[in-house]
Structures are given as C-alpha cells and as structure tokens.
Amino acid sequence: MWKQFPGIAISSICALCFSVSHAQDSLSRPELKWDLATCLSYAARNNIQLRTLEQTRRSSEQNLLLSKAAKYPNLTGSMSQNIVNSKSTDPVVGGFQTQANFTSNYSLNSNFTLYNGGYLKNDVKQKELQLQVSDLDVQTALNDVTIQITQAYLNILLARENIVYLENLITTSQAQLKQGKQRYDAGAISKKDYIQFEGQVATDQYNLVTARNAYRQNIIALKQLLQLNSSVSFDVVVPDTLYMSPVITPLPDAAAKALAIRPEVQADSLSIRAAEFELEKSKAGRRPVITLNGALSTGYSDNRTDAYFPQLNNNFYQRAGLSMSIPIFNNRITKTNIEQSKIQIEQARLTLQGTKTTLDQAVEQAYISLLNARNQFNVAEVQLRVTKETLDITNEQLNLGAVNMVDLLTQKNLYVQALQNYIQAKYSAILNHKVYDFYTGIPVTL
C-alpha cells in the first residue's frame, strides 16, 4: 500500500532517542504502548543490523588503536633455562664421565622505526577516516530503519482510523435496518428492500473485519521491525493531531541540503581520502626504512666457579644500533601496489558520483511523490465532502419515499469508496511530507 522509500539522512541520533531505558524496562510489562519516538529509540539500540554495524565500527576503532601503537617502540623479553647432559673424557682416571650443566639466559630487545617513508603516519590517518566511515554507515542504516518504522507506524494509524469510520458506518447501517424493519412491518417497503438493508449491514461488518485484520497485520509488521517477541502484546499511541506543514521546500534547496548532510555521501567522500592515503602508503615501499634497535642480555652457567649474581653482572651485555633497509628490486610488488591504489581512488570517485546521482534522483522522486500525494489528498477531501452530502440527501429522500434502496446503496458505496480514498490519501501525504523533509535533515516526528 505504501511505497518503499530509500534511507534519509538525519542530523543526530540523539534527536530520535526518547528513553532507551524506558523502552527496555517496559518489556517486562504485559502490554507495550509506544509512541513513534520510543519505537525509534528502541530500534536504534536493539536492531540487529544496527548492532552488527556497531561491531564493525568497534573493529575499525581497534584497527586505529593498533595503527597508532605501531609508532612507538616495542619491547620483548626472553628467558631460558637449560640443562645440557654430555659425556666427556676424564683426564684423571681415563675413560668417559657423564656431566650435566645448567645454564640460564635473560634478554630484553627493542625496535623503534625512525623513518619508513611516512607509512605509519599515513596509516593512522587512513584508519581515522575508516572509523568515521563506519560511524556514517551506522547512521545510514539508522536512517533506513527510521523510515521503515515511520511507514509501519503510519500504516497502523491508517488502519485504526479506517476502523473508526467503518464502526460509525455500521452504527448508521444498523439504525437504517431498524427503521427498515419498522417500515417493512408497516408495509411501507417491500421485503426485497428490507433484505437489502440487512445485506448492507453484513457488507459493512465484513469491511470492518477486514480493516481490523489489516490493523493486526500492521502491528505484526511493526513488531518485526522492532524485533519484539511474538509473546509481547504491543500497540501504538495515537497522536492527538497529525500535522502536515503547508510549506514545501523547493526542490533545488532540498537536493542541495541532502547532498550536504547525507551520511552515505559523506562516507563516500571520506573513502576517496582513505584511498589516497593508501596510495601514499604504497609509495612508501620505494623509500628506505631506518630502525633503531637495542638489546640487554645476560646469562649464567654452573660450570663456572663464579656465583649466580656475580656471573649475571659479568655477563651483562648491551647493544644499540641503527639499521637501514633500502628497497632495490622486489619483483614489481611496490609498483603494482601503487597502480592498484590509483585504481581504488578512481573507483571511490565513481562510487561517490553514483551516490550523488542516486540521491538527486531520490530527492526529485520524493518531491514529485509529495506533490502528487497532496493533490490526491485535496481531491479526495472534496470528493468525501460531496459524497457525504449526497448520501445525507439520499437518506432524507429515502425517508420521504422519493428514492429507492438501490439509489441509497449506490450513494453509500460511493461514500465508502471516497472515505477510504480520503484516509489513504491523508496518510500518504503525511508520509511523503515526512520523507521529503527528512532528506533536508528534519527529524521524523508525529
């Protein structure tokens, strides 16, 4: 019934949050009744897709910390205890004797990269951008979920309003049936006309059952989006009024605003910069690497006469030095990495261009859909008023005997159709307006 819309950028996740703890605590209650803000805040914390992307963001954060740590010296320690059992010639009594020696070795080693062609610096900058991209991916997914939940929420409100109108129709039909029974008993109408009154009541009751079933199905759809258990009794809060701004943002302004704030556009822009840093990292493979290294070590052996601690002091060894690695020929690995990085940059630029084109088309489509929905609503409003007035006149004429039952049922069917068109056009216009405004960064509220 509703058209699916692409995800819309939002200015802040906080603008959606009502009270996550309030939503989670209420899960223990036998029945939940949430407004739209509570649904959105709960989804922001519990949606599986969002939580999965949040784990990806945490992984990017760890990669950044690892990249920063690579700029500092490392330190490794080692310790070994050995027993060597061997046979040796006995110079005193001759022959061979078995002798076991115990040795200990202790060392500390450290390496510190002084220069590597800017690889570590560019790697940190790249990881920072990738973390920002992960944050924007989470926001993009949240935007999609926001629109889906808003659409499902309005579907429920549409079904509820449809039920209210149909219940009023049944009340009217039952009153007409009662009057028809009195007139039939008095001989004023035929049995055929009276049966038509009964058939109209049955038709209205059937439509009401269908509307209530649609309401239950829409509740299930929203629960699935919120990923609530089937055992949870759930309903939505009906707002006092549904406001729809009469002002429509001009299409050029909306498109420009969307390009400036959409998280996927920002993410693709950052991906280009990240690819450029990857190119700089690849170029570092042509430059020498200078490393400062040092070591401390000592050892002990029981085949010496010195005591343990004096031996450790006498065997204490210190080393410090610089080493340089100069790339000369590495089977075209560096050149290939550079060319691949250039290709990644061009691919990232094409992706950004495609995202901008798709966004521009989506905003234009949302603008056209909004204009059509508002026009349909205006026409449906007039149609409903005219058919309601005609139905009222027909009812009066029926009471006076000026029209027959067929004329009344025809007018009533036209009114019911106009009523359903009006309700659907009303919520379609509201949804399309919310979606279009959401492109410009206005949070969804009811």
Round to whole Å and give the CA distance between 166 and 208.
Answer: 6
Predicted confidence at residue 273, as pLDDT, reads: 97
Q: How many domains does the chain have?
A: 1
**pLDDT tens per residue, range 431-444:** 999 999 999 999 99
DSSP, collapsed to helix, strand or coil, labels residue 360 as helix
The range of the structural domain enclosing residue 427 comes to 13-75+120-288+333-439
Give the residue from 91, 87, 429, 403 showing the smallest Cα distance to 244. 429
In a domain, 426, yes or no: yes
Residue 164 inside a domain? The answer is yes
CATH number of 402's domain: 1.20.1600.10
Whether 212 is in a domain gets the answer: yes
Does 149 fall in a domain?
yes
- Asked if residue 177 is part of any domain, the answer here is yes
Going 135 to 138 to 143 to 144, the CA torsion angle's sign is positive
- Dist CA 431 CA 4 (whole Å): 11
Residue 97: band (very low, low, confident or very high) from pLDDT cuts 50, 70, 90: low
> For residue 294, what is the enclosing H or E element?
strand 289-301
Q: Which of 204, 217, 145 is nearest to 1 (CA)?
A: 217
Q: pLDDT-derived band of residue 86, with 50, 70 and 90 as boundaries?
A: low
pLDDT at 6 over 50: no
- For 79, 293, 319, the CA distances from 110, given in Å and listed in that order, are 15, 6, 10
For residue 15, pLDDT beyond 50: no
State yes or no: pLDDT of 9 exceeds 50: no
pLDDT score of 95? 56
pLDDT digits (tens, 9 = 90+) for 241-266: 887 778 899 999 999 999 999 999 99
Specify the higher pLDDT residue, 151 or 31: 151
> Would the pLDDT of 26 be above 90?
no
Report how far residue 10's alpha carbon sits from residue 160's, in angstroms, rounded to the nearest whole number: 29
Higher model confidence: residue 309 or residue 408?
309
Q: Is the pLDDT score of 181 beyond 70?
A: yes
Q: What pLDDT, on the 0 to 100 scale, is given for residue 240? A: 84
Q: What's the whole-model pTM score?
A: 0.80
Q: Tell me what pLDDT residue 14 has.
A: 38
Average pLDDT, the chain: 87
Residue 6 falls inside a structural domain:
no
pLDDT bracket for residue 91 (50, 70, 90): low
What digits encode the pLDDT tens for the residues 220-241?
999 999 999 888 899 999 998 8
Q: 310-353, pLDDT tens digit by residue?
A: 999 999 999 999 999 999 998 999 999 999 999 999 999 999 99
C-alpha span between 330 and 163 (Å, rounded): 75
pLDDT single digits (tens) 27-62: 444 478 999 999 999 999 999 999 999 999 999 999
Which of 50, 224, 214, 219 shows the shortest CA–CA distance to 142? 50
| Total residue length of the chain | 446
CA distance 308 to 317: 16
Query: Domain for residue 112, yes or no?
Result: no
Is 148 within the bounds of a domain?
yes
pLDDT winner (highest mean) among 180-184, 375-379, 394-398: 375-379
Percent of the chain with pLDDT over 90: 67
Tens-digit pLDDT profile for residues 415-425: 989 999 999 99
